Amino acid sequence: MDDNAAAPLGVAMVGYAFMGAAHSHAWRTAPRFFDLPLSPEMRVLGGRDAVAVKAAAARLGWADTATSWAELVHRDDVDLVDICTPGRTHAEIAIAALAAGKHVLCEKPLANSVAEAEAMAQAAAEAATRGVRSMVGYTYRRVPAVQLARQLVADGRIGTARHVRVQYLQDWLADPEVPLSWRLDKQLAGSGALGDIGSHAVDLAQFITGEHLTGVSAVLETFVHERPVAGAFAGLSGSADAAGGRGPVTVDDAAVFLARLSGGGLGVFEATRFAVGRKNAIRLEVNGSLGSLYFNFEDMNVLHFYDATEDAAVAGFRRIVVTEPQHAYVAHWWPAGHGLGYEHAFTHQVVDLVGAIAAGEQPTPSFADGLAVQRALDAVERSAGDDSRWVAVERPD
């Protein structure tokens, strides 16, 4: 064995659908493009269906499989557990893994309720005293253009943030005949567009500005109240009829809310899966006392920056192509101008997590950060349920 080789980091993952595939790609890719202080080894993939999980493991690059997450988190060859399951299972798996001394990466939103998120954050804090680390997967933070936006705000380039506008627009549910899935069942998902994509909107706003939401006034809407039941979903949660029938949609299709930020600014947020023609449009603009920033994920390698201190005769939004080696993560990829894609943010997530574990530091976003987002989502739901009244968001710990 090479004396200079990085020590192994045995990784287990629970869940292997959309997020599981993205995370698997990241675990495979990160050590091939970045010089990591630990060497991730994809040791075991967990799923309930033995046949399906074995097929997924062969396709995604995992060495072994397990049909019980409880067995998986106690394996001696596992150092880190990556949770890519529906929100209902996050708390139980994460708390058990932390108690077993395993580092944890958990997909967002952290949990389905504030109570679950609080329990997870408490377990993470206790585990950290034993050197066990945890992180929640808000991967859009790892887009280089988003990193640059945060840096410009931190450097004071836009002054005091006065307005924040965030839209997260998708259209995959616009057709009323799209069948039910776990994302449309409140028992499994916790909420609909609000938790699924609205959580990203809240996290991005708080991450880029360095502030937190202090209060909200919200509207939630479900446009399609009943959908066909596909075979894989029938009986999964007990809320739907047998396959071939129709079952209720028990989550929101769209969320719109106003917010105040801790620095005194105002926020406008929109999350919908009914914006026909928009596939994964994340639009964020921050207007400050000295300038403005604008980011659109549909043009994810670009950040627009307006410097209000420049001569008005030549001032204008500057289009910054964020592909230079000076930009976060970019030097490890392609020559300048050769853009990155959706999957790269997941690789950057692995890089940051592994680096923090090796350094004995708390990775971000932490479970405490995930709890802060959960409290904002909870305030949105409570406001919408009470005629959009203004609801305070509990301060971060």
Residues 124 and 162 in one domain: no
Nearest alpha-carbon partner for 133 in 85, 80, 69, 93: 80
Residues 187 and 253 in one domain: yes
State the Cα–Cα distance between residues 164 and 177, nearest whole angstrom: 35
Mean pLDDT of all residues in 66-70: 97
Tokens of 173: 């549910």
Residues 291 and 305 in one domain: yes
Which uninterrupted H or E stretch holds 30?
A: helix 18-33
Residue 379 pLDDT greater than 60, yes or no: yes
State the Cα–Cα distance between residues 279 and 383, nearest whole angstrom: 28
Mean pLDDT of all residues in 329-346: 98
Asked, for residue 173, whether it belongs to a domain, the answer is: yes
Q: Of 120, 139, 158, which closes a domain?
A: 139
Residues 116 and 159 in one domain: no
CA 241 to chain centre: 31
Asked, for residue 276, whether it belongs to a domain, the answer is: yes
| Backbone dihedral angles phi then psi of residue 150, each to the nearest 5 degrees | -60, -40
pTM, two decimals, is 0.95
Residues 83 and 43 in one domain: yes
Residue 75 pLDDT greater than 70, yes or no: yes
Distances (CA, A) of 128 to 104, 124, 193, 220: 11, 6, 32, 37
State the Cα–Cα distance between residues 168 and 204, nearest whole angstrom: 11
Q: How much is the pLDDT for 390?
A: 98
Residues 298 and 334 in one domain: yes
Q: Of 91, 116, 139, which closes a domain?
A: 139
State the Cα–Cα distance between residues 179 and 50, nearest whole angstrom: 25
CA 396 to chain centre: 18
State the Cα–Cα distance between residues 83 and 175, nearest whole angstrom: 30
Which uninterrupted H or E stretch holds 51?
A: helix 50-60
Asked, for residue 75, whether it belongs to a domain, the answer is: yes
Residues 108 and 127 in one domain: yes
Q: Of 139, 162, 195, which closes a domain?
A: 139
CA 81 to chain centre: 16
Tokens of 137: 């997967």
Tokens of 108: 């967002």
Three-state DSSP state, 12: strand
114-128 vs 90-99: helix crossing angle, rounded to 10: 10
Answer whether 144's CB lies under 8 Å from 330's CB. Answer: yes
Residues 47 and 67 in one domain: yes
pLDDT in tens, 199-248: 999 999 999 999 999 999 999 999 999 999 986 655 554 544 455 699 99
Where would I find the beta strands (DSSP E) of the chain?
Answer: 7-14, 38-46, 64-66, 80-83, 103-107, 134-137, 161-169, 213-221, 226-228, 246-248, 254-261, 266-272, 281-288, 291-296, 302-307, 318-321, 391-392
pLDDT in tens, 131-178: 999 999 999 999 999 999 999 999 999 999 999 999 999 999 999 999
Residues 259 and 311 in one domain: yes
Asked, for residue 397, whether it belongs to a domain, the answer is: no
Give, as one character, the DSSP assignment of residue 299.
G
Nearest alpha-carbon partner for 293 in 363, 213, 352, 210: 210
Residues 11 and 27 in one domain: yes
State the Cα–Cα distance between residues 79 and 233, nearest whole angstrom: 32
Residue 116 pLDDT greater than 50, yes or no: yes
State the Cα–Cα distance between residues 357 and 36, nearest whole angstrom: 11
Asked, for residue 1, whether it belongs to a domain, the answer is: no
What does the mean pLDDT of the chain come to?
Answer: 95
Say which CATH number the domain at 359 has. 3.30.360.10
% of the chain with per-residue pLDDT over 70: 95
Residues 129 and 176 in one domain: no
Asked, for residue 60, whether it belongs to a domain, the answer is: yes
Asked, for residue 63, whether it belongs to a domain, the answer is: yes
For the chain, the domain total comes to: 2
3-state secondary structure 334-397: CCCCCCCCHHHHHHHHHHHHHHHHHHCCCCCCCHHHHHHHHHHHHHHHHHHCCCCCCEECCCCC
Asked, for residue 375, whether it belongs to a domain, the answer is: yes
Say which CATH number the domain at 118 has. 3.40.50.720
Task: Give the range of the structural domain holding residue 231, as residue numbers without chain letter.
Answer: 144-392
State the Cα–Cα distance between residues 102 and 132, nearest whole angstrom: 6
Q: How much is the pLDDT for 239?
A: 46
Residues 155 and 111 in one domain: no
